[in-house]
Structure 1
């Protein structure tokens, strides 16, 4: 029997090679930026060398030389990726805020729409000038600012407003607790390196200078369309989802609804991105092909119309980053179809990714960018393979018999068509999950096992709702204008009827999602932690598995087994390290006192102020570290738990002494009375602005312990007492500014 050999057809995928080389160059910048010189001259030299080598190879016409020049071109593309990333990093520029000390005032423009939080508005400012020592000078840099919502009737920041701000921004803070989301790095990926809380008396609006008038008009248009939904979708929950589904405005979606969608794997429904743009493009092309497919020049004018619809929808939704990314992707698809090259979708997607990364190389670390392209690539490759395994229409066609009536035969054909549609939807959902679930585990630490059940019903209904919502937007404003001009109020029944249908569809798929989440509460697997290396191993395992299925070579099966063994070993080693680890953590949680006792896979989190941590504090401050350490058995206790650690209070309302695995911690929250007996401790925690003096502390606890200010202490108190303690020769740690205090009792095997 002949052995079939198959090679990867790189020759037919030149754009794939180029985008992979560009990605490699960008990754080099992320890991080795500090050690790299100015790369632009090197890139210019590399381009000149490549052109000279290419001309020489063309004249010699030797295949091996052509291959060498191709490798040189890929290396040049790698260098281009690193150079583009270097040039895109604003903090390297000499006029950046990092290079501007002692800022008195600065001018900046609002560069984003406002994010509405319970007590504040958050937005991004782009600086144009700063005043230092009485002199104005040009400057650049992004600042993430927050302003209070309920002071002096503060209005929400508007895109394009020009602000004059008093005071200097502070560099963005590093994560303060173990495993906490690195917001500083997230901001840096968006070229934002500073933060500031601005009171209403610190800034004035002095004009309007939007970075993009087109985006300003787009955002104003989106807000006007938001008003249409407010008038015709009366139920608050359905209105919030309508805004998110059609316009991408999620300010009104409550936390419970967001959690319901997250737990069923349907969060993508509430984000205007590739799903909505792809649905618009696909249905439009299907409609045009059905009724106008045989007209002259159909391929070209249908692609032009598709581009017009895609970019019009992007404009109506505020030109958000996710919509722009999807619009660019499908624009390349439309152009490829018009040119007759639609068969090679991998090249088309690679060209789209290449252009996007050239424009903004930091898109590579954007979660939405990663999920979008991986999902589309997986659908393009896997969906036909999975969908082709079952042909429901052919299976039902075999059920037809000559003696059956025409009605029965039509019914059989309709059933086959319906089953085939359901199977293709299942195949599409599975294909998308294959490529995205490792990233879901890495970023979100969870995986919904009910994703297939929820998406199978919710996505089709939400797709119909999207079209009905767009129809409502197209009809409402003209009908309102006609009613106002003619006085024929009965015309408003048309948008009201469409709004009623729209609201009903949203209610249906929302109730279905809630029902699935409640009926299968254990279907959401949570608390999964993957390291970056383990995530890469998962993708390598998927790749080797697909290669084996495609080429049936034992070498790929062996590689897959080796990768699986490596992944399993890394998980076992991580669990072994956690089992041997013991540490005490004093958390940094605003205005709270919290201590964690971590013993192997068990963890106890106590709040000495007897108030339990709320869901937000647990989710964002404590839980990421617990997941990262593999803590499976976690308890939250309000007050002191004397069953897990020895806790006793010294007489006369003195400090509370906690003893755990040989570590002793004193919690001081009031006075230290004269004559307080000395206590040997390792850590002294000062909380609630304890009324103490350095001499008292030194006499009671000595110079050996670390004196920790927890987050319940006011800023003025810490700034006043810290220099006094340091002058007395005592070591000081402020969890609010320096992060949580971690006392390692017994290190893990890897520490």
Structure 2
């Protein structure tokens, strides 16, 4: 069956043009915003010029002039995007924390859910006032804070608590190791530029004033619904997934379960977003159309009921950002459908994205926002085309014969119906992956080839589990109230039975996901690094191929070949650069000593204290840099591998000398004895608060050496030794505060990077 090629004429998609212009303006701010003046007067002037030009063009009735005015309108929208991003950036304001000087105390409100970590509570504070030089003044700014869970007086923060905090927050730290996740940039996208570790005796709750009472009530409702799951879902793992599936609370999902879902491409099941909202809306519309589809005005009031349910669900899940995005998107889709404009889905999605980005331009760098809209856009365009490749109803009609017995005809009909449902699910999953896999490679450096197998079973079962979980929430509270009023505890068998079914459904799809991950370990392609340019090239390639299949013109196929050539060229250039690159890295890993020897595509990671890195340290501290450099052959060594590199210990319990490609470095963890023979080196690494003096280091290793404090050194030790070493003329680097030390090595000379 062939599909008639369709085009997307610009004239019928004005919102698509507008969203592209707005996106361009926001991107301009991210790249060149620091150099721009205040843009609001310019935007006002641009709007005035456009209105004047538009009125003049209407009177002239000149098509060419109308086109020019249209281009002017897009330019104004672009300027509006840049202006919106500028005014969404709190750091520009004069009263921001960055411009306050040395803060003694500050007053702030808890403005986010508390995240429960193994040893701390983490949340966000929004500052309203600071005390500087003994005087209070108004201020603004976001602070990401951590509070130890097990210290005396520690309590879990609550949204809306007003804190009086002693001490000054510190600017958020840059990533400390090569390729490490840039948490500072991530926080800045949420208008948070500071961090602080607060002990219970540093703050006092002085009031309760939620910034948004609606959100406060929403959080309270979500916590109450969470209590229902605690009572009726007994297994710890299943409760954690139930909490994530229905309410979007993932605090209690363990790391192994998260990893299993990530490795099979099913993480979206644990996030309340477009999947859950879409399923809820679709089933509701199906039920309403089944029983009330022929009633007068059904098209309008059914949409109203759908919107009420969607936003009620968003309220009951705590009004999280992902649910709000999905609710806004489906609201626009529902309204467009009621207005009879459901055929122009591109305009509808563009309007939804336009409104969201105008409200918060920083959504453009939110991974969830990018994946959600790209997946929906790809599903809208590709899913009908992919599903049209196979028609099982037509297949069944060709197989059916008038003389076949009735049971056989029904079997063919039911088979066609079942195969059609499976194929539609396959088409939907493939369509979503086409648009999202470049982002998956760029952000997560992996791609699960088993995504189709895991999603085909896990998504339907989890969808049924979602409905059962919502039914449990609807039944449990009324039945509990009734049982308490009548003293009839036997009534609780109903929510207990539903809870048992709910728990077993979760167990089923969870075990299936784990089984797929274990059975097909080679299906997860890992360690892929894409530059932003390469990610854009992949999207350009997808666009060229889609254009070729839509219009069947060889020019598009030729363009796709050109894009493949450019992508390959960039990968080859990277490989050539890595092949000749040699570097020594002293990592910044809390309370650990670790170094990396990178030689082309090979890497040797050494922990001198003979204790291997744990999975978290490898995954978050070391692995990103290895992926970024495309290190394919990586070895880990606990202790000095004397057989693989030139390592020599000078004296008993003396310093360890490492010689690598003509570069010499010394690791000092104890005393330097008198009479130690001079050994010139380029780098001295002090470990475990080594008891040494500057004159000893100078006499033993020479005045040209750089002194590096690794992460096993305590803060007090670094603060004590640093001025002494600098006074002796030695250069100093602290990996805990300044990040990993990276030394590029070449046969000709050693050049620090």
In 2: Cα distance, 1:153 partner to 1:493 partner: 40
Counterpart in the other structure of 2:302:
302
Counterpart in the other structure of 2:481:
481
In 2: Cα distance, 1:592 partner to 1:650 partner: 22
Over residues 296-322 of structure 1, what are the superposed CA-to-partner deviations in whole Å (9 max), with x where a residue is unaligned?
110110010010000000001000000
Measured after TM superposition, the shift of residue 406 of structure 1 is 2.1
In 1: Cα distance, 2:256 partner to 2:737 partner: 32
Over residues 529-574 of structure 1, what are the superposed CA-to-partner deviations in whole Å (9 max), with x where a residue is unaligned?
0000000000000000000000011111111000000001111111
Counterpart in the other structure of 2:509:
509
Over residues 217-249 of structure 1, what are the superposed CA-to-partner deviations in whole Å (9 max), with x where a residue is unaligned?
111111111110011110111111100000001
Over residues 406-447 of structure 1, what are the superposed CA-to-partner deviations in whole Å (9 max), with x where a residue is unaligned?
222122101101100100000000000000000000000000
Counterpart in the other structure of 2:209:
209
Residue pairs, 1:430-509, within 5 angstroms: 430-509=430-509
CA contact (8 A) 1:378 1:435 kept: yes
Change (3 A) 1:631 1:719: same
Counterpart in the other structure of 1:98:
98
Counterpart in the other structure of 2:22:
22
SS at the partner of 1:154?
A: coil
1:253 paired with 2:245, answer no
Counterpart in the other structure of 1:126:
126
Worse-superposed segment, 28-37 or 433-442:
28-37
CA contact (8 A) 1:393 1:419 kept: no
Over residues 618-647 of structure 1, what are the superposed CA-to-partner deviations in whole Å (9 max), with x where a residue is unaligned?
000000000000001111111111122111
1:705 paired with 2:702, answer no
Counterpart in the other structure of 1:42:
42
Counterpart in the other structure of 1:638:
638
CA contact (8 A) 2:6 2:550 kept: no
1:367 paired with 2:355, answer no
SS at the partner of 1:435?
A: helix
In 2: Cα distance, 1:86 partner to 1:285 partner: 41
Counterpart in the other structure of 1:733:
733
SS at the partner of 2:165?
A: strand
In 2: Cα distance, 1:679 partner to 1:350 partner: 67
In 2: Cα distance, 1:394 partner to 1:112 partner: 54
In 1: Cα distance, 2:643 partner to 2:308 partner: 67
In 2: Cα distance, 1:62 partner to 1:229 partner: 66
In 2: Cα distance, 1:65 partner to 1:424 partner: 47
Change (3 A) 1:291 1:630: same
Counterpart in the other structure of 1:538:
538
In 2: Cα distance, 1:583 partner to 1:200 partner: 43
Worse-superposed segment, 443-452 or 648-657:
648-657
In 1: Cα distance, 2:375 partner to 2:465 partner: 23
In 1: Cα distance, 2:511 partner to 2:233 partner: 16
Measured after TM superposition, the shift of residue 340 of structure 1 is 1.0
Change (3 A) 1:327 1:7: closer
| TM-score, length basis structure 1 | 0.98
SS at the partner of 1:325?
A: helix
1:358 paired with 2:358, answer yes
CA contact (8 A) 1:397 1:416 kept: no
Over residues 365-394 of structure 1, what are the superposed CA-to-partner deviations in whole Å (9 max), with x where a residue is unaligned?
000000000000000000000001111111
CA contact (8 A) 1:584 1:742 kept: yes
Counterpart in the other structure of 2:399:
399
In 1: Cα distance, 2:216 partner to 2:643 partner: 60
In 2: Cα distance, 1:687 partner to 1:323 partner: 48
1:529 paired with 2:529, answer yes
SS at the partner of 1:103?
A: coil
How many residues in Structure 1 have an aligned counterpart in Structure 2? 746
Q: What 5-or-longer segments of structure 1 have no aligned partner?
A: none
In 1: Cα distance, 2:487 partner to 2:515 partner: 44
Counterpart in the other structure of 1:723:
723
In 2: Cα distance, 1:244 partner to 1:34 partner: 39
Measured after TM superposition, the shift of residue 257 of structure 1 is 0.6
In 2: Cα distance, 1:483 partner to 1:6 partner: 60
In 2: Cα distance, 1:571 partner to 1:689 partner: 43
Measured after TM superposition, the shift of residue 405 of structure 1 is 2.2
Residue pairs, 1:583-598, within 5 angstroms: 583-598=583-598
Residue pairs, 1:255-404, within 5 angstroms: 255-404=255-404
Measured after TM superposition, the shift of residue 5 of structure 1 is 11
In 2: Cα distance, 1:153 partner to 1:499 partner: 36
Over residues 315-339 of structure 1, what are the superposed CA-to-partner deviations in whole Å (9 max), with x where a residue is unaligned?
0100000000000000001111111
Counterpart in the other structure of 1:672:
672
CA contact (8 A) 2:7 2:550 kept: no
SS at the partner of 1:398?
A: helix
Counterpart in the other structure of 1:577:
577
SS at the partner of 1:246?
A: helix
Counterpart in the other structure of 1:694:
694
SS at the partner of 1:700?
A: helix
In 2: Cα distance, 1:603 partner to 1:101 partner: 44
In 2: Cα distance, 1:397 partner to 1:484 partner: 58
CA contact (8 A) 1:649 1:655 kept: yes
Worse-superposed segment, 267-276 or 670-679:
670-679
CA contact (8 A) 2:5 2:550 kept: no
Measured after TM superposition, the shift of residue 746 of structure 1 is 3.1
CA contact (8 A) 1:222 1:317 kept: yes
Worse-superposed segment, 641-650 or 175-184:
641-650
Measured after TM superposition, the shift of residue 403 of structure 1 is 1.5
Measured after TM superposition, the shift of residue 6 of structure 1 is 8.1
Over residues 491-541 of structure 1, what are the superposed CA-to-partner deviations in whole Å (9 max), with x where a residue is unaligned?
100001111111111111111111111110100000000000000000000
Counterpart in the other structure of 2:196:
196
In 2: Cα distance, 1:337 partner to 1:746 partner: 65
In 1: Cα distance, 2:219 partner to 2:122 partner: 17
CA contact (8 A) 2:469 2:502 kept: yes
Change (3 A) 1:6 1:323: closer
Measured after TM superposition, the shift of residue 696 of structure 1 is 1.0
CA contact (8 A) 2:153 2:200 kept: no
Measured after TM superposition, the shift of residue 592 of structure 1 is 0.5
Over residues 248-287 of structure 1, what are the superposed CA-to-partner deviations in whole Å (9 max), with x where a residue is unaligned?
0111111111111111100000000000001011111111
In 2: Cα distance, 1:375 partner to 1:247 partner: 22
Over residues 566-616 of structure 1, what are the superposed CA-to-partner deviations in whole Å (9 max), with x where a residue is unaligned?
001111111111111110000000111000000111101001111111111
Counterpart in the other structure of 2:615:
615
In 1: Cα distance, 2:136 partner to 2:269 partner: 47
Worse-superposed segment, 591-600 or 281-290:
281-290
CA contact (8 A) 2:16 2:346 kept: yes
CA contact (8 A) 2:141 2:192 kept: yes
In 2: Cα distance, 1:109 partner to 1:668 partner: 46
Q: CA RMSD in A?
A: 1.2
| TM-score, length basis structure 2 | 0.98
In 2: Cα distance, 1:651 partner to 1:249 partner: 56
In 2: Cα distance, 1:81 partner to 1:473 partner: 42
SS at the partner of 2:104?
A: strand
Measured after TM superposition, the shift of residue 38 of structure 1 is 0.9
In 1: Cα distance, 2:308 partner to 2:389 partner: 37
In 1: Cα distance, 2:33 partner to 2:180 partner: 24
In 2: Cα distance, 1:449 partner to 1:653 partner: 51
In 2: Cα distance, 1:713 partner to 1:307 partner: 57
Counterpart in the other structure of 1:653:
653
Worse-superposed segment, 145-154 or 84-93:
145-154
SS at the partner of 1:205?
A: strand
CA contact (8 A) 1:581 1:599 kept: yes
Over residues 113-162 of structure 1, what are the superposed CA-to-partner deviations in whole Å (9 max), with x where a residue is unaligned?
11111111110000000001111100000000001010014111111110
CA contact (8 A) 1:106 1:129 kept: yes
